[in-house]
């Protein structure tokens, strides 16, 4: 197989990012960008982000997860704590998140440390999920080998019967992580590949150092 992609070209010209116009706190810029992308650009899931971890086998691995909340403290997503990503985070909580909003020609890259959120917060989010998603969390031993799909559907059917008319409890191995950032880079595509890159780095006094990076 030999596929030459060298002629794939795109001109970036939908925006700019000037260092003297950015706020002191990167979470404020993230909120502005998220709102603009969500309102004005054709993204299927604005909250879709790539999570990179270092696996137990020593290899980095990326996968797409959904951002469910962000605050000045960090970025929250939910998963099975016993999944491959959960085990990787337990062994090495240093992770990277990235958003690529192609319609807006923007990218955000976040380096930080992941930690479990309080159980009551995971309970509250789990209760807000559709029943099908709640049952799916009970059925799935995420990342484990399963013999076939029919097995999963059979287990789901059993749980639907078991919990008919009842509240579905959150599995203790399922819940949220918050990624507390130490570095956030904002990338805005520009013409001639001279892209704007603004990097925020958290300092010991908890202020943010702001630098422009060469594209």
- Which own/partner contact pairs does 155-162 have at CB distance under 8 Å and 24+ positions apart? 159/135, 160/135
* Cβ–Cβ under 8 Å, residues 119 and 175: yes
Secondary structure (DSSP) of the chain? -----TT------S----GGGS-SSHHHHHHHHHHHHHHHS--S-TTEEEEEEE-TTS-EEEEEEE--EE-SS-EEEEEETTSHHHHHHHH--EEEEEEEEGGGTEEEEEEEEEEEPPHHHHHHHHHHS-HHHHHHHHH--TTS--S-HHHHHHHHHHHHHHTTTSPPPPPTTEEEEEEEEEEEEEEE--GGG--EEEEEEE-TTS-EEEEE---
Which of 9, 193, 197, 212 is labelled catalytic? 193
* Cβ–Cβ under 8 Å, residues 187 and 99: no
Active site residue 193: yes
List, by residue number, the catalytic residues. 193
């Amino acid at each position: 197989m030999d596929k030459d992609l060298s002629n794939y070209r795109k001109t970036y010209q939908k925006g700019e990012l000037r260092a003297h116009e950015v706020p002191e706190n990167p979470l404020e810029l993230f909120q502005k960008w998220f709102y603009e992308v969500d309102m004005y650009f054709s993204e299927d899931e604005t909250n879709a982000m790539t999570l990179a971890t270092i696996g137990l086998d020593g290899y980095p691995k990326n996968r797409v997860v959904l951002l469910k909340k962000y605050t000045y403290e960090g970025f929250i997503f939910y998963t099975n704590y016993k999944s491959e990503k959960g085990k990787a985070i337990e062994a090495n909580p240093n992770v990277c998140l990235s958003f690529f909003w192609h319609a807006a020609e923007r990218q955000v890259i976040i380096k930080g440390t992941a930690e479990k959120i309080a159980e009551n917060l995971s309970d509250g989010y789990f209760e807000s999920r559709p029943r099908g998603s709640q049952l799916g969390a009970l059925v799935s031993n995420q990342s484990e080998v399963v013999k076939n799909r029919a097995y999963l559907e059979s287990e789901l059917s059993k749980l639907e019967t078991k919990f008919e008319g009842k509240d579905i409890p959150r599995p203790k191995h399922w819940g949220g992580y918050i990624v507390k950032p130490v570095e956030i880079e904002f990338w805005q595509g520009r013409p001639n590949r001279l892209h704007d890159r603004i990097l925020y780095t958290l300092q010991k006094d908890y202020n943010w150092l702001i630098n422009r990076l060469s594209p």
